[in-house]
């Protein structure tokens, strides 16, 4: 393994001059489709006593800005914050952040380069702009971004970038992933150890490219992580985006994928396993802007333990210009014990009737008793039967990653979670038997 150690940098000022935002990104993201430029719903001009204003109801109407000063502190009543434990992440939303570069490790791989770039680089801000204060706070706090460039043409090539031990000081970060035209590759972002982190991840997939980006959260139990991912997918290009969240106290990942060119395609997958007292949140936005674009969204999660909480919000917008769109999103949750909560909210906006198809689905439930009965009738113990059911439920997402080594490691991590879950079942069963 090699270590990429950045050059020293200074903590930047809290605002971002307009000149640092590329014109193309500014034009695409500065004002939502609803035409709120200059009057952002959720900014100070609308929340300071303006009770009569209509609040933003759809993801496409949200105000976007790189300036943290354009956003008020969330109260917890906003549609995009009401399911998040605000008190546990307040310092990341509004407090000062350490925006200096950090150490990362990555083994050299042909077709991939890793470097630190200044915010004046054209790649900085090329995929989107913040839609909430936590994202803007991170954006405003950094002078340099970690840049990953994909130029190779081997679909099996994979590049693993790992970071660990970021510490307990509130930190901001920025990553830019760019796939060159007609390139192929898999980028894996591995997170572990301690952290109090809010960050932005930009992904640009140029024409004809095929890119897979996997973000793995295996933080320590006390870690807090807020992440906003922005993606632009080019003509006849494909982005496979995978989020795996297994560790951390509060983890909120907010992917925003824009199918902005004809024939663009995305597959967005997610896997999460929430333990007692853990909050795992995913907010997925797919914006069909161009004709003949395609999207598939599938997130699966399991919950066990008192106070385990998962949130999944899926927003799909099919614009009037997106004729020929083919889209489907779904979220499945498996509840393994009492005292858990799974919020699942699919949303679909369609502005044109000339589409191939669009749909959404959501379900939350317990074990299928018939599956357990079948396995037990074949001589399998109840504990092992439960593990098999959960393993099969989550394996579908793990197999989408495309890396044998990462899939094997995540399978072991899920197995470790299942050992604890099954132990909890046994304890619950013993307690019920004692009461009886």
pLDDT score, position 9: 36
CB-based burial label for 373 (10 Å; 0-12, 13-18, 19+): exposed
Q: What is the pLDDT of residue 261?
A: 97
309-318, strands of its sheet edge to edge:
112-118, 144-150, 170-179, 196-205, 224-233, 250-259, 279-288, 309-318, 341-350
Question: What pLDDT, on the 0 to 100 scale, is given for residue 196?
Answer: 98
* 17 CB-contact burial (10 Å; exposed 0-12 / middle 13-18 / buried 19+): exposed
Give the CA distances from residue 379 to residues 373, 376, 382, in Å, rounded to whole numbers and listed in that order: 10, 5, 9
* 3-class secondary structure, 348: strand
* Paired residues of 247 in beta bridges: 218
**115, β-bridge pairs:** 147
CA dist 216 and 406 (Å) reads 10
DSSP annotation string for 92-107: HHHS--B-S---EEE-
The closest of 107, 15, 115, 104 to 65, measured between CA atoms, is 15
Residues in the chain, pLDDT under 70: 1-57, 420-436
> Would you tell me the crossing angle of helices 133-141 and 86-94 to the nearest 10 degrees?
40
The pLDDT value given to residue 429: 52
pTM, 2 dp? 0.85
Structure confidence at residue 421 (pLDDT): 64
Strands (E), 169-264: 170-179, 184-193, 196-205, 210-219, 224-233, 238-247, 250-259
Report the alpha-carbon distance of residue 107 to residue 114 in Å, rounded: 10
Residue among 78, 94, 76 nearest 86 (CA): 76
């Amino acid at each position: 393994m090699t270590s990429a150690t950045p050059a020293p940098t200074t903590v930047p000022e809290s605002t971002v001059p307009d000149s640092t935002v590329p014109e193309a990104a500014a034009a695409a993201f500065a004002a939502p489709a609803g035409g709120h430029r200059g009057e952002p719903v959720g900014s100070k001009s609308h929340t300071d006593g303006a009770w009569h204003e209509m609040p933003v109801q759809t993801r496409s109407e949200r105000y976007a800005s790189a300036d943290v000063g354009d956003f008020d502190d969330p109260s917890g009543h906003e549609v995009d914050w009401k399911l998040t434990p605000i008190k546990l992440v307040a310092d990341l939303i509004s407090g000062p952040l350490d925006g200096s570069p950090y150490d990362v490790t990555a083994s050299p791989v042909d077709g991939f380069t890793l470097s630190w770039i200044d915010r004046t680089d054209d790649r900085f801000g090329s995929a989107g702009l913040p839609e909430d204060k936590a994202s803007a706070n991170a954006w405003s706090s950094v002078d340099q971004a970690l840049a990953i460039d994909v130029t190779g043409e081997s679909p099996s090539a994979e590049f693993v970038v790992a970071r660990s031990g970021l510490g307990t000081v509130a930190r901001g970060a920025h990553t830019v992933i760019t796939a060159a035209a007609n390139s192929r590759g898999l980028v894996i972002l591995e997170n572990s150890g301690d952290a109090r982190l809010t960050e932005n991840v930009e992904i640009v997939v140029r024409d004809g490219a095929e890119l897979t980006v996997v973000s793995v959260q295996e933080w320590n139990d006390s870690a807090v992580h807020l992440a906003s991912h922005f993606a632009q997918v080019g003509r006849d290009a494909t982005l496979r985006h995978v989020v795996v969240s297994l560790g951390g106290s509060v983890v909120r990942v907010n992917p925003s994928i824009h199918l902005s060119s004809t024939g663009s395609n995305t597959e967005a997958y997610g896997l999460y396993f929430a333990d007692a007292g853990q909050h795992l949140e995913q907010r997925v936005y797919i914006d069909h802007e161009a004709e003949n674009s395609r999207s598939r969204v599938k997130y699966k999660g399991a919950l066990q333990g008192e106070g385990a909480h998962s949130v999944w919000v899926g927003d799909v917008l099919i614009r009037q210009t997106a004729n020929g769109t083919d889209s489907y999103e779904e979220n499945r949750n498996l509840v393994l014990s009492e005292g858990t909560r799974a919020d699942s909210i699919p949303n679909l906006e369609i502005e044109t009737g000339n589409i191939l198809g669009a749909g959404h689905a959501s379900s939350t439930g317990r074990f299928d008793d018939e599956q357990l009965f079948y396995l037990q009738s074949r001589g399998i113990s109840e504990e092992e039967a439960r593990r098999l059911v959960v393993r099969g439920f989550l394996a579908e997402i793990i197999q989408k990653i495309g890396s044998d080594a990462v899939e094997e490691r995540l399978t072991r991590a899920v197995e470790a979670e299942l050992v604890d879950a099954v132990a909890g079942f046994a304890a619950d069963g013993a307690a019920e038997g004692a009461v009886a």
